[in-house]
């Protein structure tokens, strides 16, 4: 079966791919999903995005978008029924996502894989990552979402990384003094869009029928 849909190469557990899928879900867009195996990346994906990271969105006109934040923005620019690209806070949202991607992710990787980075202890890496969590906690003191009473691109762009941080050691995360952040994360983990984003699909292989996401 062939489709006339845009095509998304994704990997379920990757936080970058999660944010892209969330962007598509909030935009109410359907795509052809190709779930990949990181150890065996399909040649079709590598031919359009040689850097070999997910997500990769190939539009029907051939244009390739291979940065997760660009996929989110592109999707919500097509349609944004819940106003995630709220112009009033979009600048703030982009600053927060920059901090997440350029600072927090650095410490998150070292916290998660501390055995590969013996320069510091796992606790020290966690504490470095908590600097960003403290910023989020303060933002969530006044509002249920990061930048107000409604979700924005900041929430869906950052939540998958906070989730990953929390899942390194759930007991430790939920013992930390960030009740608003913990509440916010739990709400997202139960959000119907997130549950749809995390549906498990078999890895794509050449010749498979097209998988439409969301189903």
pLDDT at 24 over 60: yes
How far apart CA 143 and CA 133 sit, in angstroms, is 15
**162 vs 166: CA distance, rounded Å:** 6
User: Considering the domain 90-191, what is its CATH architecture?
Assistant: Up-down Bundle (1.20)
> Distance (Å, rounded) from C-alpha 168 to C-alpha 166?
6
Among 2-11, 26-35, 112-121, the least confident range:
2-11
Distance CA 35, CA 161 (A): 20
The closest alpha carbon to 125, from 112, 144, 134, 137, belongs to 112
pLDDT category, 8, cuts 50, 70, 90? very high
Q: Quickly state the pLDDT bin for 3 (edges 50, 70, 90).
A: low
Say whether the peptide bond before residue 214 is cis (omega within 30 degrees of 0).
yes
Residues in CB range of 200: below 8 A, 6 or more apart = 12
- Kindly list the domain boundaries of the chain, sorted by start residue: 7-82+195-213, 90-191
Give the model confidence (pLDDT) of 55-70 as tens digits. Answer: 999 999 999 999 999 9
Helices 153-168, 122-142: inter-axial angle, 10-degree rounding: 140
Decide if pLDDT at 1 tops 60.
no
Give the Cα separation of 23 and 118 in Å (integer).
Answer: 36
Contact present, 146 and 140 (Cβ < 8 Å): yes
For residue 39, what is the enclosing H or E element?
Answer: none
Which whole number is the average pLDDT over 191-199?
98
Percent of the chain with pLDDT over 70: 99
Do 90-191 and 7-82+195-213 fall under one CATH topology?
no
pLDDT in the model for residue 13: 97
In whole angstroms, what is the distance from residue 165 CA to residue 148 CA?
23
Each residue's pLDDT tens digit, 67-102: 999 999 999 999 999 999 999 999 999 999 999 999
| pTM for this predicted structure | 0.96
pLDDT 10s digits, 105-160:
999 999 999 999 999 999 999 999 999 999 999 999 999 999 999 999 999 999 99
Q: How many helices (H) and strands (E) does the chain have?
A: 10, 5
For 7-82+195-213, CATH number? 3.40.30.10
């Amino acid at each position: 079966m062939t489709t006339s849909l845009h095509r998304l190469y994704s990997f379920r557990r990757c936080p970058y791919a999660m944010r892209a899928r969330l962007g598509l879900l909030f935009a109410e867009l359907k795509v052809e999903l190709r779930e990949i195996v990181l150890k065996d990346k399909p040649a079709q994906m590598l031919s359009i995005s040689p850097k070999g990271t997910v997500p990769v969105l190939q539009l029907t006109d051939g244009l390739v978008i291979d940065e997760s934040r660009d996929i989110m923005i592109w999707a919500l620019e097509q349609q944004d029924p819940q106003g995630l690209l709220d112009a009033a806070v979009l600048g703030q949202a982009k600053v927060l996502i920059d901090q997440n991607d350029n600072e927090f992710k650095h410490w998150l990787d070292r916290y998660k894989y501390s055995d590969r980075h013996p320069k510091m202890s796992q606790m020290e890496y966690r504490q470095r990552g908590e600097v960003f969590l403290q910023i989020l906690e303060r933002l969530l003191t006044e509002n249920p979402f990061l930048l107000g009473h409604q979700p924005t691109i900041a929430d869906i762009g950052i939540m998958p990384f906070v989730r990953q941080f929390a899942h390194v050691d759930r007991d430790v995360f939920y013992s930390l003094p960030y009740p608003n952040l913990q509440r916010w994360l739990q709400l997202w983990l139960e959000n119907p869009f997130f549950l749809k984003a995390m549906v498990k699909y078999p890895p794509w292989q050449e010749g498979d029928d097209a998988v439409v996401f969301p189903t």
